[in-house]
Amino acid sequence: MVLRPRITKETPQFSGQILCFLHYYYAHTSLHVLSPADIYEAINSNNHRMSEISLNNLQNNKVIEHTEAFTEENDSFWGYMITQKGIEIVEKWSDEDYNRIAEGIVFEDMSQNTIEIPASDRIVTLSDNQAKEAKENINHAIEEIEKETFFGNQWVPEKNALIKTLEAGKEYLDSKAIDHRIGMMMLVEPLQRFVEKYKEEAINEGVRGIIKGVIAFLISLLKQTG
């Protein structure tokens, strides 16, 4: 791992700055997974849409990964970490290129102390009662989503797709031996995307709170081992 210096100046090169920032924390600290908010603040970006596009492009190119991590209080959150491919790209930069790209990045100690999640092939074994409780929670989320009418007709296709995904996730719980990654993909991530996508919209706060509660329950359930 090549350790790079800290440099601060403004530059619009979002993708390069994001990669540089994630590389820095991977190389210098134990904070390998950083939240979008941490990234936006570090690159002084008020243009969240442009930053989101950059994050998506980097992820599609497999130089960063969207993954789960936990705070020292064992709370789950989602963020980004640099991949081996991304590390190799940064370490091939000349010092001149690195300095130019790194201009404007604010390097600070993050308040969250993260740990890496277990391997993606981890299996979670559910009891009958746990599977039943999980299904009840998912049904509760589905009921609230079905009642949500704020978005009008344009919301119907997305709502139907979300509900179908959650229904398929419920069926998957019948196996009792749950692959952690598949469980997250079918049950937790769709709800997280819903809450994140519409966080600025006038969704009923009661609905938002219920769905967040279901997310927290499912994450806790899928964190167990055995």
Give the residue extent of every domain in the chain.
Answer: 14-116, 123-223
Structure-block tokens of residue 206: 């009661």
Tell me the CATH class for 14-116. mainly alpha
- The per-residue pLDDT for 138 is 93
Under 8 Å CB-to-CB from 219, ≥6 apart: which residues? 76, 184, 188
pTM of the model: 0.49
For range 147-157, the mean pLDDT: 71
- The per-residue pLDDT for 210 is 84
pLDDT tens, position by position, 12-67:
468 898 998 898 887 777 667 888 888 888 887 666 677 788 888 898 899 998 88
- The per-residue pLDDT for 224 is 65
pLDDT tens, position by position, 128-151:
999 999 999 999 999 988 887 666
CA 188-33-137 angle, to 5 degrees, is 15
The proportion of the chain whose per-residue pLDDT surpasses 70, expressed as a percent, equals: 75
- The per-residue pLDDT for 120 is 47
Query: What is the total residue count of the chain?
Result: 226
| CA quadruple 9, 12, 15, 19: dihedral, nearest 10 | 0
Tokens 């300095």 belong to 99
- The per-residue pLDDT for 84 is 87
- The per-residue pLDDT for 196 is 76
- The per-residue pLDDT for 9 is 36
